Structure 1
Amino acid sequence: MSEPLPGVGVTPLSGLGTARWYRPDERPDPESVEAAAPETERERFADAQAQAREEIETERENTAERVGEEEAAVFDAHLQFLDDPQITDGVDEAIEDGAAAEAGVARAYGSAIEQFEGMEGMMAERADDMRDIRDRLLRILSGGERMDLETLPEGTVLLAERLTPSDTAQLDPERVAGFATATGGRTSHAAIFARSLGIPAVVGVGEDLLAIDEGADVAIDATNDAVIVDPDEETRERVTTSRDIEVRSEPVETADGVEIEVAANLGTTAELDGAVDQGADGIGLYRTEFLFLDREQPPDEDEQFESYVDALEAFPDGRVVVRTLDIGGDKPIPYLDAEAEENPFLGNRGIRRSLDEDSDLFESQLRALLRTAAEGDGRLSVMFPLVSTTEELDAALDAVDAAAESLDEEGIEYERPELGVMIETPAAVMMADELASRLDFFSIGTNDLSQYVMAASRENDAVAHLHDPLHPAVLRAIHRSVEAAHDNDAWIGMCGEMAGDPSVTKLLVGLGLDELSMSAVTIPEVKAGITETDTESAEELAERALGASTKLEVRETITDSQ
């Protein structure tokens, strides 16, 4: 067995299969293509754009159906970049100077890729989007055929320098035993798609991955952040022995009788059936911003009401937690004309916009939610994103009162739902007692909380080692939030990626979380982990982890407890 190649495991899964390389860049040099007359080359480019647009629209539709609306939204950006005049003008200029359409595309998109790679945060990830569009156009222009990743042989371990969104969206979990890439981090498109599809994946392995031969036996051990070539029998057994995880439709308890709610994160009602099929107790995070995307104007109050009622009716015995509109940052909405910000994650997003320029949208959303709370048998909870101050919370609560008053005046039936906030910023952690005294619940968003506590963008591979919720500082922020909630008789959940990692379920039970919400694919294993956990030993584990001074110590503490 070769030495394990370290990387970043992005799914709590493992698999074993035969290596197959994906090398989409094997094509003629664009600069070597002989150019026809500029008018002909412009027509070729326009035809390629039209075909690319058709492909992207089809892939968006298929991805929304197979993976989810949140993942499919990336293709909206691809459509915008495909027609971006700042790029297409560069193609036209190259053609005017005598270049073939291939060379024009390579130069214009190559320049954009280089520009984005020099940035930080979510903008750096746009380089992969640009690369995806460039490669698609060059393939179409050259008449090349795309490798069909949907029909890979069963038991394939796919290896690639990188996987674009359109690549990863094609993968079939029934055929692909796992994949590994040389580049990428936990928040890359490939990683997000892998988690949604339930495919074992390790990214960011580096150049050592490139030495693996086609046809080699490869184990993807995402739980332990490693790729293993020619694994020995012990490793083979470990990565291929799958636990027979029962899907439990009923709520579960720890071994000593403490009930913990296990819910699903989703973006649209199209994902409801998948959540129910995996045994979700309810919805712990309904990302309402996806109702507002891929359209020319926002949904009205009645359309929102119908969507929220559908979610509530899917879980008549459970709880549905709806997050109010969270745009800005990595989720801009074109028709709202949001100004570009130098650092959007530290800018005007979440509740900040809802209380200011998007107040009309906030009002209609609150009215729809209050009406929904009066419908059906399920329990509706509403939470506000990125609250950092008591002033913001008080203003949001006033907006709820105003929405209720307007419905009352119109004689429209409504109920006041449970109200809570996302714990995402150090400010919210430090003010947790004051916030909890005004609320019914908290939900910890570990993705944003980790990046803000550690001052490490979740979109920047260079600081990926810092963007980890197991850093002692983040664990202590979680612990402080749990204590503040419970001291004020509020319940507290977690809806970040950490909640769906079965390897830390025991730790989260020990920290005192009342609810865990995650991608539906990991619900059965997390539920199984809860039933096997004794709260006393879990609390002892949490105490030891909170006393650790490094992430490595925390991980070793967790490993020793298993």
Structure 2
Amino acid sequence: MPEQRLSGVGVTPLSGVGTVVWYAPDAELDEPPAPESVDADAERERFEAARDEAREEIRAERERTAERVGEAEAEVFDAHIQFLEDPQITEGVETAIDEGLSAEHAVTRTFDRFVEQFAEMEGRMAERADDLRDVRDRLVRVLVGGDRVDLSALPEGSVVLAERLTPSDTAQLDPERVAGFATVTGGRTSHAAIFARSLALPAVVGIGDALNDVADGADVVVDGTEGTLVVDPDDETREAAAGGEDVEIRADPVATADGTPIEVAANVGTEADVGPAADRGADGIGLYRTEFLFLDRTSPPDEDEQYTAYREALEAFPEGRVVVRTLDIGGDKPVGYLDLPDEENPFLGERGIRRSLGPDADLFETQLRALLRAAGDDAGGDLSVMLPLVTTVEEVREAREVLESVAADLDAEGEEYALPEFGVMIETPAVAFLAADLVEYVEFFSIGTNDLAQYVMAAERGNDRVADLGDYRQPAVLRAIRMTVEATEGTDVWVGMCGEMAGDPDLTELLVGLGLDELSMSAVTVPQVKKAVTETTLADARDLAERALAASTKDQVKDVLTETTQ
């Protein structure tokens, strides 16, 4: 039988070969009982007992996920507990019970109404539908006494196919047993995609209904680089997939084929992410998202707790650089114990450095104290500090003054400290335009392409309706990157990139040609990007960049990139 290729969205640059195992967790409920036969008090008690059991399950699952996958990924389960306790949901279930439905049918009816509402939205709000389905299915399973499918115990070499995978489904997958997964629905920002990258699992999402025609037990290749699922692959495809997985992990720094060094670092969110980054050959940490130290708690971490976290990151990279982003709260990252405003458009509101120089000034000073102490420690590694969401020169000057004031306080107290490298993230058009004015205040820039594309193109990064506009291959985004690099020419300021664009090995040559000195990404893609760097020559890279910069449409940029890879 000739091989068949199904296209979707590849979410990890990995390939896997295995045997299909279909996962269909939704169980059919029996017809609801006659309303007059329902004991409403008893059904409410059953619902409350199921909520208690589900809550304990979720807490245990959160703990396992934080330990095995990462704290950032585990936070999705906090939302699940919130759904369990949401008054609108609980009141909806109780009302349905009073109308004569059993607890399981009341749960299904109530949750389905909210699932439908969220599914009609776009971007991150649409992803909440999967969270609601997850909580609904858990409650129904508890109520009917069903057994949960143990995805952690699948046969070795399994490729999981499903309509969708919820967070609790994906968190169970064991990379030692599972060769990959593919789903009918989903996108690059779905929970399944995020977990796949954290677990280093080959995955393709959003294939569509054609996936339903793939038989259980079929042989397949999951190609997360090309975004394809190959059914009944021939020997050549199998060998290519197996070879594609075996990318050499290079512990040492790399350079282009003609000797230009390029630092390849990893983005991390918690201490649990640091070890895997080192294991994948990262030269250091190019983005330490410190906001994850502040989430899922009732009060902020104190100075010593933060100092310990930063010191551990430095110890993991004794010869490397650790770039720490100061607290980036606001936008889509709320913190319960902070007085965050209810804003109509939080991405354009009070977030990042705006809060650190305003209502969170005390937190900012405490964080800087911890960072300067860690920088002065002999743990190894070089510490760098960068500011998020900068838009004015005044913000940078004021933040630098706070840094110097904190240093003076530590000096007066007799504390050991050192002044770290100081830089800013380039993620707004304003700061890209001002880059030439900022070089006298900073030692480096780090381009955050996720937000930069969002703000340059006025296209919310989580909104699928404008995803094409928010693509970082848009000419305007490429020119903003080049503008930033040009501002540093003739200075000692280096330029890195820590957005998703940096982790795409197909774009490595372009980024080298644009003048990037450092690329930082999800740890899973570090080996592929290092390999791409060594296969690049500076002359060819610069030629590619010039041709891409001359393009006036995204399609023209894509054509330039395609010509290079052919």
- TM-score under structure 1 length normalisation: 0.94
The CA deviation at 1:33 is: 8.5
Distance in 2 between the 1:536 and 1:29 partners? 68
* Contact map agreement 1:188 1:459 (CA 8 A) in 2: no
Q: Which residue of 1 aligns with 2:58?
A: 56
Kindly report which structure 2 residues correspond to 1:63-78, keeping only aligned pairs within 5 A, or say none.
63-78=65-80
Q: Please say if 1:13 is aligned against 2:17.
A: no
CA 1:364–1:499 in 2, change beyond 3 Å: closer, same or farther?
Answer: same
Q: What does 1:477-488 align with in structure 2 at a 5 Å threshold? A: 477-488=480-491
Letter in 2 for 1:333: V
Deviation per CA, 1:26-83: give whole Å up to 9, x if none.
Answer: 3315745976422211221111111111211121112112211111111122122221
- Distance, in Å, in 2 between the alignment partners of 1:50 and 1:500 is 41
Contact between 1:457 and 1:463, CA under 8 Å: does it hold in 2?
Answer: yes
Aligned equivalent of 2:499: 496
SS in 1 for 2:423: strand
Partners of 1:33 and 1:386 lie apart in 2 by 58
The 3 A distance-change label for structure 1 pair 149 and 456 is: farther
CA contact (8 A) 1:202 1:220 kept: yes
| Cα distance in structure 1, aligned partners of 2:532 and 2:31 | 53
Q: How big is each residue's C-alpha offset from its partner over 1:329-364, in whole Å with a ceiling of 9 and x where there is no partner? A: 221111114233333223222112212221111111
Q: State the AA in 2 paired with 1:220.
A: V
| Contact 1:185 1:464 (C-alpha < 8 Å) held by counterparts | no
2:512 equivalent to 1:505: no
Aligned letter for 1:84? D
Aligned to 2:349: 347
1:122–1:330 CA contact under 8 A, matched in 2 = no
The aligned counterpart of 1:24 is 25
Tell me the residue number matched to 1:401.
Answer: 404
2:122–2:465 contact (8 Å) kept in structure 1: no
**How far apart are residue 120 of structure 1 and its match?**
4.0
Which residue in the other structure is 1:107 paired with?
109
Q: Secondary structure at the match of 1:413?
A: coil
Structure 1 counterpart of 2:424, from 421, 426, 434: 421
Q: Of the candidates 324, 328, 331, which is equivalent to residue 326 of structure 1?
A: 328
Q: Could you list the runs of 5+ residues in structure 2 that have no partner in the other structure?
A: none
| Structure 1 residue aligned with 2:540 | 537
Q: Return the offset for 1:375.
A: 0.9
Query: Match for 2:90: what amino acid?
Result: T
Matched, 1:360 2:348: no
- Compute the displacement of 1:233 (Å): 4.2
From 390, 395, 409, the counterpart of 1:392: 395
Give per-residue Cα distances to partners, 1:423-449, cap 9 Å, x unaligned. 112222222222333211111112222
Give 1:294's aligned residue.
Answer: 296
Contact persistence 1:161–1:181 (CA under 8 A):
yes
Distance in structure 2 (CA, Å) of the matches to 1:154 and 1:431: 54
User: Do the aligned residues in 2 keep the contact of 1:125 with 1:459 (CA within 8 Å)?
Assistant: no
Q: Give the residue type in structure 1 aligned to 2:372.
A: L
**Residue 224, structure 1, aligned to residue 226, structure 2:** yes
- 1-side partners of 2:76 and 2:478: how far apart? 31
Q: After TM superposition, give the deviation of residue 3 of structure 1 in Å.
A: 5.5
1:461 is matched with which residue? 464
* C-alpha separation in 2, matches of 1:549 and 1:15: 37
- The residue aligned with 1:211 is 213
Aligned residue in 2 for 1:195? 197
One-letter amino acid matched to 2:467: A
Compared CA separation, residues 14 and 555, structure 1 to 2 (3 A): farther
Paired with 1:310 and 1:528, the residues of 2 have a C-alpha distance of 28
Aligned match of 2:337: 335
Does the residue aligned with 2:275 lie in a helix, a strand or coil? helix
Aligned counterpart, 1:474: 477
Letter in 2 for 1:27: E
Q: Provide TM-score, normalisation by structure 2.
A: 0.94
Q: Which AA in structure 1 matches 2:66? A: A
Cα distance per residue 1:496-523 (max 9 Å; x no partner) = 1222222222222222111111222222
Matches within 5 A, 1:194-273: 194-242=196-244, 244-273=246-275
CA distance in 2, matches of 1:390, 1:429: 11
- Structure 1 residues 171-219: Cα deviation after superposition (integer angstroms, max 9, x where no partner): 1222222222222111111111111111121222222222322233333
CA contact (8 A) 2:504 2:529 kept: yes
- Contact 2:43/2:102 (CA < 8 Å) preserved in 1? yes
Alignment root-mean-square deviation, CA: 2.1
Quote the Cα distance in structure 2 between the aligned partners of 1:117 and 1:328.
24
Contact 1:30 1:102 in 2 (8 A): no
Q: Does 438-447 or 85-94 show the bigger shift?
A: 85-94
CA-to-aligned-CA distance 1:72-97 (integer Å, 9 cap, x gap): 11112212222122221222222233
Identity %: 64
Higher mean alpha-carbon deviation, 521-530 vs 260-269, is at 521-530
Report the count of equivalent residues: 562
Secondary structure of the 1:80 match is helix
CA distance in 2: counterparts of 1:2 and 1:453, whole angstroms: 42
Alignment of 1:107-126 (within 5 A): 107-126=109-128
One-letter code aligned to 2:242: T
| 1:114-164 Cα distance to aligned partner (Å, 9 max, x none) | 332344443332222112111111111111112211122222222222111
Distance verdict in 2 for CA 1:450–1:29, change over 3 Å: farther
Separation in 2 of the partners of 1:33 and 1:71?
42
